[in-house]
Amino acid sequence: MFIERGSVKPNIIIGIVALVLGIALFVVGLNSSHSVADQVSSTFLGRFTQATTWYIIGGLGAAVFGVLMLAQGAVFKKG
């Protein structure tokens, strides 16, 4: 039942952290896209502010990286 000491690979831990961080950044980016500043920017410029765009892109990138790290840790298990 219990996880043996040293049985969790660093890739899996890094993957989980990156995935959670990526999801959090993506949610922050989506929430900030509904702010007044972003609504005005979207109305007049047709795009979100740079900060919102970077939150969304960074969140997606970190989430993809996390999934890849988790997949790598799951595929290359020993034993």
11-52 confidence digits (pLDDT tens)? 889 999 999 999 999 999 999 888 888 888 878 888 888 888
Q: Are 48 and 42 in contact (CB under 8 A)?
A: yes
Tell me the three-class secondary structure of 21-52, residue by residue: HHHHHHHHHHHHCCCHHHHHHHHHHCCCCHHH
Choose between 3 and 14: higher pLDDT.
14
Domain ranges in the chain?
A: 10-75
pTM for this structure? 0.77
Q: How far apart are CA 38 and CA 29, in angstroms?
A: 11
Contacts of 8 (CB under 8 A, 6+ apart): none
